[in-house]
Amino acid sequence: MNEALLLGLASALCYGITDYATRIAGRAVGVWRSMFYGDLAAFILLSAWLIAAPGAAAGAPAARAGAWAASLASAIILLGAAALLTQGLTRGTLAVVAPVAASYGAVATLLSAASGEHLSRDAGLGIAATVLGVCLVSVPAGGLRDLREHLRSSGFGWAAGAAACYGVGFWLQGSFAVPALGAFVPVWLSYGVVVAAVPLLRPVLALSLAIPDRGQMGPVLAAGLFSAAAYAALTVGQSTGHVAVVVVLSTLASAVTVLLARLIDRARIAPHQWLAMAVIIGGLILIRS
């Protein structure tokens, strides 16, 4: 149990740092460049892991085409989710974007219930709490009269779109890809799709993929490497047999991101935003317990 606790907390810490570094990288080099080079670093790291531990993909070659199609579809949707989240983190307020994006767990649970999976009472309460927290965090410090401007400037729309896409992507991944391919291959493929797709989008979106300079490369690589480390901690933690403990602890990532913004950037976080974050994390714990 102690190992599961440590790995769950490590996953939350690394995912929280990932989001904070993504904000810096996105502002320094742009959304798509930061995604490309960060995910390239993660893809290389996970590919090295695959070579060192080939058993992680042992069942993949025998999987049916439907599982590979689901994995590819989820990877494309998750690419869109990452782009939306990076936009939100770059342009918006971390105290709003991080917890709203973390609510993807409620979206995935609702999709599972719609496809026939039993929804427990605790999960239902967790979804309600998550929705309440998202509504609460969207309220500006100045009151409801400033709501429209707050939603526009805080990145709420980007974060909500990211949560929806992450929910759909992870639901597809967990329901149709992971049972056949294992936990490793779908995530490895997700990073690979970004590395392959972003250069193809370059002429369409008039993107620059120039290599960032030395000062800019730090946060870009940090975002990618901490993302891969978070995934590794989550995967190894789940293998301990204490899946619920590890996954629930990993939901603390949004709190880590907000705390980093508070400590490093001296970002102002309203009392109701702390409360909203606690409500969202509590809701996610109920959903995943």
Q: Please give the angle made by the CA atoms of 14, 44 and 92, to the nearest 5 degrees.
A: 45
Domain range annotation of the chain: 2-288
Q: What is the mean predicted confidence (pLDDT) over 62-89?
A: 91
| SS3 state at 206 | coil
pLDDT tens sequence across 157-180: 999 999 999 989 988 988 888 888
Q: Which amino acid is at 132?
A: L
Res. 243 pLDDT band, cuts 50 70 90: low
Describe the chain by its helix, strand, coil percentages, rounded to 5. 85, 0, 15
Q: Which of 194-208, 242-256, 267-281 has the highest mean pLDDT?
A: 194-208
pLDDT tens sequence across 28-64: 999 999 999 999 999 999 899 888 887 777 777 777 8
Q: What is the mean predicted confidence (pLDDT) over 101-111?
A: 86
Q: What is the mean predicted confidence (pLDDT) over 214-223?
A: 92
Q: Is the pLDDT of residue 23 over 80?
A: yes
Q: Is the pLDDT of residue 25 over 70?
A: yes
Contact 53, 117 (CB under 8 A): no
Residue of higher predicted confidence among 151 and 251? 251
Q: What is the pTM of this model?
A: 0.88
Q: Which residues of 44-80 are buried (b: 16+ CB within 10 A; e: fewer)?
A: ebbeebeeeeeebbeebeebeeebbebbbbbbbbbbb
Residue of higher predicted confidence among 191 and 138? 191
Residue 81: what pLDDT? 93
Of all residues in the chain, what percent carry a pLDDT higher than 70?
A: 93
Q: What is the mean predicted confidence (pLDDT) over 263-286?
A: 85
Query: 253-264 and 271-288 are packed helices; what angle lies between their axes, rounded to 10 degrees?
Result: 160
Res. 274 pLDDT band, cuts 50 70 90: confident
